[in-house]
Structure 1
Amino acid sequence: METLNFKTNIKSSDDVAAVTLNLNDIEQVDGWNIATEAPDNLLTVQTTDNRIADLVLKAVQKAGYQATLVGGQ
Structure 2
Amino acid sequence: MKKYKTTIKCAACVAKVTPYLDETAGTGNWRVDILDPQKTLTVQGDTSEKIIQDALQKAGYKAEPLL
Please confirm whether the aligned pair reaches a TM-score higher than 0.5, indicating the same fold. yes
What's the counterpart of residue 60 of structure 2? 64
Equivalent position amino acid for 1:32 in 2: W
Describe how 1:30-45 pairs up with structure 2 within 5 A. 31-45=29-43
Aligned alpha-carbon RMSD (Å): 1.3
- Name segments (4+ residues, structure 1) moved above 3 Å: none
**Cα offset, 1:38, TM superposition:** 0.2
Choose 1 or 2 for highest CA Rg.
Answer: 1
What's the counterpart of residue 19 of structure 1? 17
Gaps of 5+ in 1: none
* d(CA) in 2 for partners of 1:13, 1:64: 15
Q: TM-score, normalised by structure 2?
A: 0.90
Percent same amino acid at aligned positions?
35
**Cα offset, 1:5, TM superposition:** 0.3
**Cα offset, 1:39, TM superposition:** 0.6
Question: How many matched pairs?
Answer: 66
Equivalent position amino acid for 1:53 in 2: E
Q: TM-score, normalised by structure 1?
A: 0.83
Gaps of 5+ in 2: none
**Cα offset, 1:7, TM superposition:** 0.1
